[in-house]
Amino acid sequence: DCQVSGLGDTQFSFRLRQSGGQRNTHFGDDGEYNREAPLTLQRESAHYFGYVYFRQVKDSSMKRGYFQKSLVLVSRLPYVNLFQSLLQLIAPEYFDKLEPCLEAVCNEIDQWPPPVPGQTLNLPVMGIVIQVRIPSRVDKPGSSPLKQFNQEPYPVTLSFTNRCFQPVLIHIQMLWELMLLGEPIVVMAPSPTISSEMVLALTSCLTPLKYCCDYRPYFTIHDSEFKEYTTRTQAPPNVVVGVTNPFFIKTLQHWPHLLRLGELKMSGNALTQARLSALDSEVDRIYTSYKIFLHKDKTLIKRLLKGIQRKRPSEVQSALLRRHLLELTQSFIIPLEHYIASLMPLQRAITPWKNPPQIRPFRQEDFMKTLEHAGPQLTCVLKGDWLGLYRRFFKSPNFDGWYRQRHKEMTQKLEALHLEAICEANIVAWMKDKSEVEIVDLVLKLREKLIRARCHHLPVKEETLQRVGLYIETIIGSLPEDLQTVLHHH
């Protein structure tokens, strides 16, 4: 969907909505993987990712005078680096040998173990072994993902590079805020590669906060959402779209923010000098009327620009920027975490024979009052209108997503504490003056709790669950035989 004058090989990614109908349950429980995996690497339930390797070369034997072919890998996992590295191995072979090569590769991939956060996987394919460590949520952010082993496997990391932020460093504060607030953004790029790299870098710049809006690393006029996104009758959706067709500048001109990027010419590891002088060129611009809430971090920008001048390796630049964004997001989120933790009922309010108490409601005004003595200013040097930023954030899908997730985790924690309270209680003493109806009711309730704890993988020790099971047996054993038979069969 762009003027591909360049010949050769191109790689990029896209993301598409799953159509309605059956949810695919082929993966069993995503819950377990998603609970352990970092938020940016969770498996998607309603979208697929497409990873593309495209080749275009002159070929006089073809009718059009060109050989043009793509190999596309589709997955629910956002493992951009792993799957793009895999395609670099497979696609060139496939273009030479076609189907038989793919069949062999598919057979090998079928044998791969499932991804488990915190584990290093060895993935054999085409005579080499790709080695990748699936990060876990408990990893220290920014820790190095791979230790080299003696036999030379093919190491791949799953973390993003922020190389593509180089030309827009002076806007980095604004881009972070726009992403935090879930604003609609059009990224206009010269190629699908740059488009998808930029969109993916943007969505991962909120780590450790989950970006809860939609995003399309590469979007074309043939996408089924084209009408939905270009309609003027309603406000633009909360989406970041990466496009290459200049036609979009016209059709999406009612969108509030447009980021225009130029060609990124890489020489070795550093950007070419020409790129340097073009740092704030006409091309790399952001068109928006948005006013940032926080002041820019001038010292950081100076350091990064100096890094480009001195040809500092892009990994080092990336790490600097990633650390800055991580600290910024953490400063923003810590006060929210503190406040929501205070809404949890006290442990002593959890008694075995009553339903667990409710989590108190999140009151925005109460939260705002806590900021005076426990706000982001404690951990962040940036000055500005933090309160205004929080107020806008409360209206965004990212707040909604964060709050639901936290609320769910806290509810599960409460259920787990309740089960533990039941285990500590003296059931026999409780049963002394109770009627059969009350006792049967307790058996049914405990059973239901046990099933929930297992199905939802509640954070409960296995021994606690076994004790509850024994309790149930004990209680049933104290009832008349006819009732015992009924309960054993249910």
Q: Which of 54-58, 279-283, 342-346 has the lowest mean pLDDT?
A: 279-283
User: Whole-angstrom Cα distance, residue 455 to residue 472?
Assistant: 18
The pLDDT tens digits for 68-124 are: 889 999 999 999 989 999 999 999 999 988 888 899 999 999 999 999 999 999 999
Which of the 8 DSSP states describes residue 294?
A: B
Please, which pLDDT band fits residue 402 given cuts at 50, 70 and 90?
A: very high
The pLDDT tens digits for 374-397 are: 888 888 888 999 999 999 999 999
The encoded tokens of residue 211 equal 């970006």
Cβ-contact 293, 385 below 8 angstroms: yes
The pLDDT tens digits for 340-372 are: 999 998 888 888 777 788 899 999 999 999 998
The more confident residue out of 85 and 25 is 85
Cβ-contact 56, 8 below 8 angstroms: yes
Which of the 8 DSSP states describes residue 169?
A: G
Tokens 């909505």 found at: 17
User: Whole-angstrom Cα distance, residue 470 to residue 453?
Assistant: 15
Residue 151 confidence (pLDDT):
39
pLDDT over 50 (residue 271): no
Share above pLDDT 70 across residues of the chain, in percent, rounded to a whole number: 87
The pLDDT tens digits for 120-141 are: 999 999 988 988 888 888 876 5
Please classify residue 432 by burial: count the beta carbons closer than 10 Å to its beta carbon, then call 0-12 exposed, 13-18 middle and 19+ buried.
exposed
User: Whole-angstrom Cα distance, residue 99 to residue 81?
Assistant: 24
**Nearby residues of 166 by Cβ (< 8 Å), 6 or more positions away:** 264, 271, 275, 308, 314, 317
Parallel/antiparallel/unpaired status of strands 257-260 and 185-188: parallel
pLDDT over 50 (residue 148): no
Q: What is the rounded average pLDDT for all residues in the chain?
A: 84
Residue 147 confidence (pLDDT):
40
Among 190, 189, 200, 205, CA closest to 81: 200
Please, which pLDDT band fits residue 12 given cuts at 50, 70 and 90?
A: very high
Tokens 């049967």 found at: 440
State which fold the 162-395 domain adopts.
Rossmann fold (3.40.50)
User: Whole-angstrom Cα distance, residue 388 to residue 294?
Assistant: 9
User: Whole-angstrom Cα distance, residue 87 to residue 71?
Assistant: 8
What is the SS3 assignment for 257?
A: strand
The more confident residue out of 150 and 153 is 153
The encoded tokens of residue 365 equal 């005004």
Count other C-beta atoms under 10 Å from residue 252's C-beta: 18
Residue 276 confidence (pLDDT):
42
The more confident residue out of 171 and 432 is 171
pLDDT over 70 (residue 158): no
Domain(s) of CATH 3.40.50.11500: residues in the chain: 162-395
Cβ-contact 31, 43 below 8 angstroms: no
Rounded to an integer, the average pLDDT of 161-180 is 86
The pLDDT tens digits for 172-182 are: 999 999 999 99
